[in-house]
Structure 1
Amino acid sequence: KMADVLNKNLWESDPELFDLVKKEKKRQLSGLEMIASENFTSLSVLQCLSSCLHNKYSEGLPGA
């Protein structure tokens, strides 16, 4: 069922990708990244990015 696929955790649906994400997080924590776009973000930003708000997008000027 599609609902089952949409509601699985990453470690259940793709253990290999989950392992890669864990390894990347460990790599980032072990050093200083000098590329601004690859710096850490706050927990609140990460929570927003993993929320239903991430399913939306906007183009153009507001109210146009």
Structure 2
Amino acid sequence: MGPITGLSTIATTLLWTSVVLGVVVAGLLLAVVLPTLTRTREERRRQHLSIPAYYRLTPAH
């Protein structure tokens, strides 16, 4: 019975590790992908132009 108990412990540990890592990866994907998908074309264009234009800053003359 020793080897069966050891294998079940390893299997349970691997299962929970996979679940936790899956949740972490899904959370990171949502944190990175969702903001990118919700940006409009105008926002992307403004950000591409320059940082002051994106943040609506006026240059100091």
Q: TM-score, normalised by structure 1?
A: 0.29
Q: Which of these two proteins has the greater Rg computed from alpha carbons?
A: 2
Q: TM-score, normalised by structure 2?
A: 0.30
Q: Which has the higher helix share?
A: 2
